[in-house]
């Protein structure tokens, strides 16, 4: 599994990106880490995304197992583990909060997790999981598509490392680095995951996030936070707001 890391200290902040994205989406947040986080940080590419290997199953438990395996060597017994997940990464963070996968977070944050899924949305994801990767003639076209899929259109620069990490080239042209089968992760059982958590869990969203409402999150976490007038990728648009959210629970 591809990981990037930085910082010093015994505490560890593990950051998990959303569906279709890569760990590079945390770049704006990491740029502020020296001033905002007293410890180390670890940003991973989830299985089947970016530069991480593909795997046979992308069920929530299987992805959580892979993430835990990659994280364990970075844990220091004297330190705290805090997990910050966005969208799909937030679901995986909630799974890790159960303690079932060998990690014992002291606190978990989930931003922009889609809670309500229609039958049509579930079927569409299942269909996407069976389709081959679309090929693009040019790098620019592939990057443009990646930014739309990852929810970064009009936020990230198509020429940036963030965009580059989400695409790759093969003999047939350019394509997204994501394994299409990762769409088959399934509808997250949010109530069950919240009930299984062995540590405090905090949910939040950008105030303009079209994927989830604050009311939906507060049905699960009464203290769910509105992170300001930002969209789904609030950690890219407003990293300071996310740091403030984390700091408010130290």
Domain count, the chain: 1
Q: Is 84 a domain residue? A: yes
pLDDT classification of 161: cutoffs 50, 70, 90: confident
Rounded CA separation 97/172 (Å): 41
Mean pLDDT of 220-233: 96
Mean pLDDT of 150-169: 87
Q: Is 175 a domain residue? A: no
Instruction: Supply the pLDDT for residue 164.
Output: 87
Beta bridge partners of 4: 43
CATH number of the domain bearing residue 75: 3.40.50.1820
Q: Confirm if 28 and 235 have CB atoms less than 8 A apart.
A: yes
Q: Is 134 a domain residue? A: no
E-state strands within 135-211: 167-170, 173-176, 201-205
Instruction: Supply the pLDDT for residue 241.
Output: 97
Q: Mean pLDDT score of the chain, rounded to an integer? A: 94
Half-sphere exposure of 92 (CA within 13 A, CB side): 29
Instruction: Supply the pLDDT for residue 106.
Output: 97
Instruction: Supply the pLDDT for residue 160.
Output: 85
Query: What is the model's pTM?
Result: 0.95
pLDDT tens per residue across span 196-222: 999 999 999 999 999 999 999 999 999
pLDDT classification of 95: cutoffs 50, 70, 90: very high
Q: Is 178 a domain residue? A: no
Instruction: Supply the pLDDT for residue 204.
Output: 98
pLDDT classification of 167: cutoffs 50, 70, 90: very high
Q: Range of 103's domain? A: 3-117+185-247
Q: Is 174 a domain residue? A: no
Q: Confirm if 115 and 212 have CB atoms less than 8 A apart.
A: yes
Q: Is 145 a domain residue? A: no
Instruction: Supply the pLDDT for residue 155.
Output: 86
What percent of the chain is modeled with pLDDT above 70? 100
Closest C-alpha among 86, 68, 84 to residue 18: 86
């Amino acid at each position: 599994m591809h990981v990037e890391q930085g910082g010093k200290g015994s505490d560890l902040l593990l950051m998990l990106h959303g569906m279709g994205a890569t760990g590079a989406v945390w770049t704006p947040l990491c740029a502020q880490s020296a001033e905002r986080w007293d410890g180390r940080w670890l940003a991973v590419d989830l299985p089947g995304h970016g530069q991480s290997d593909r795997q046979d199953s992308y069920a929530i438990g299987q992805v959580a197992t892979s993430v835990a395996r990659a994280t364990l060597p970075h844990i220091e017994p004297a330190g705290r583990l805090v997990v910050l997940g966005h969208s799909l990464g937030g679901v995986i963070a909630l799974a890790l909060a159960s303690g079932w996968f060998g990690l014992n977070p002291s606190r978990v944050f989930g931003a922009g997790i889609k809670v309500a899924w229609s039958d049509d949305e579930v079927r569409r994801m299942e269909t996407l999981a069976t389709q081959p990767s679309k090929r693009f003639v040019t790098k620019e076209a592939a990057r443009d598509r990646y930014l739309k899929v990852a929810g970064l259109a009009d936020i990230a620069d198509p020429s940036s490392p963030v965009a580059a990490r989400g695409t790759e080239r093969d003999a047939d042209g350019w394509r997204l680095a994501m394994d299409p089968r990762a769409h088959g992760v399934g509808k997250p059982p949010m109530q069950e995951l919240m009930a299984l958590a062995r540590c405090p869990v905090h949910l939040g969203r950008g105030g303009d996030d079209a994927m989830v409402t604050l009311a939906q999150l507060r049905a699960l976490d009464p203290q769910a936070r509105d992170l300001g007038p930002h969209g789904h990728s609030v950690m890219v648009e407003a990293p300071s707001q996310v740091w403030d959210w984390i700091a408010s629970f130290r």
